[in-house]
A and B are shown apart, each in its own frame.
Chain A
């Protein structure tokens, strides 16, 4: 294992891999720092650049974006009080008060070094656990795969913030998109209405780009006429005379002097990452909440204490490691970012899943190496240009939006050099925006879209092997996975009902 990792590190240290990794990390940090630009959008923007690269170059660039983006959000969170990405929301709670209190350097570097240590611990988990998990997954038959995918979707739908039913419906829409086109067993056209345009189904990446990037950009455009709050106007005028000088040894000592906090936040980040389709946005909030609950002085959270920054930033980078485990061991994306990476892998003819690590060791260990090196590069980039990131946040949407949309169009067109993918992009851009406006969560839809084909293939394969449907329940692993899926749904329903009852109690007139 360590020999392969060493080989991976030596490979990625070559210029032709180091340059895309550095560029990816830099773009990730910038994208992360830009409020309104998510890591998903950043990775979609660099997607077309990876088409012309070899698989490891492309994946190294994407890993860099993922790592850089998870850390980049802390700059704006600490210095402007505006989280650059949803992964840095909790960082603002203590980072901004600490910076306002006269210690911006301490706030930034507590965040950077926490990201670094959290990320490395997440990387350790990634390297040690992916292989054994993939070995377990190799024992799976079609029944277990089917049940695993059902569990993944049940969990994601259950965790939908807006509404559990909307989460389920969103999953169903994702699954429906995958059944349009030819069926995977007999190549019979389904729901194509005789149209050539959809006879091959909807290509995954243009749908993903349309739903995520277009919907996000249009949501940003929608807010352009909103009057800015006085705080936002003040925050948008950062003082570039501010000094971020700090004793790094002292800051590192502050972080490592709280080993339980660092480890627990990292564990929270990894676990949220391992769960399918939930990103760093949930990880940082949950880790912050946990840190507050375990603290002897919870009342100090939100006033600018280091614990809040350490919890948030270590968890969101550890989350990256956890997400990569899920995609590399099971072929299930840990979040929307890894969904794009999964799509990029398929473009290069690489099938992610349990066989990935054993069949593509050079690529797998190359990704591990890129992940580790990206953390070092992230520290260097932020050391060199944290204040420069503030200048970049001044780029106006009127400039940013057309450029992002052009890159989205290239990303769709270059898939197969046809305009069809570009039209799909527009159709799903409109559809994605409508779903966002309707309050539908997009993560379950994307997971349904990614897993739809695999669910069908494994379902049919299971039935063709043995037509006894009870096997889904009586095979131990499959049964346990379906039980967990039912439990997840039941838990979500219970939480929903409890929330409704609590809301009704609060709204009841107090006589």
Chain B
């Protein structure tokens, strides 16, 4: 392993030079990274996407740690950016639902330059999305080639569990604690999963979609009807428009 880790910086430097010469090879760089990752992980790469100057890879849950390790050793991702979770529950009991409704009303009042989008009833999930409800994702970065990767893994609905990557990136410690607290994911092998933001006796996982935001349950968000006019556009178009509000922090 150490020989692998030692060899490629020269290659990396060469690639970086190639990149500065022409802007186009940038995506080739990412495709190269993806190829290395696919080669190392095989079937564990569930889906991948190189788009918009970014690389997103979804891996199988049990290969999560292995994927991060490959990124660290073979793709030379030396910088740990963040790790967090996602909850794809389609029907939040938050006022998220109310937001879509208001959108509909406002849309009916009709501004012509507005494209009509369907109100989402089910959550779409493709490469970026997931097959299960929960997803863990992390962002790693190479500070020499200036290229980053978003790694994702789907987690089980009832038992969200994944291996900890704190052995690979010590910075992941706090991020895993935060994700554990906010989403209830279990990180096997983490030295001590303790609360980081919330008090120790707190129950529930606040960032899950089914965790109610009490302030919104009690009183509807006054900013819902606030649609600020664009500069140069006459005010008072449509009802509820043109009110200067939404400054409540």
- Judge: A and B partners, yes or no: no
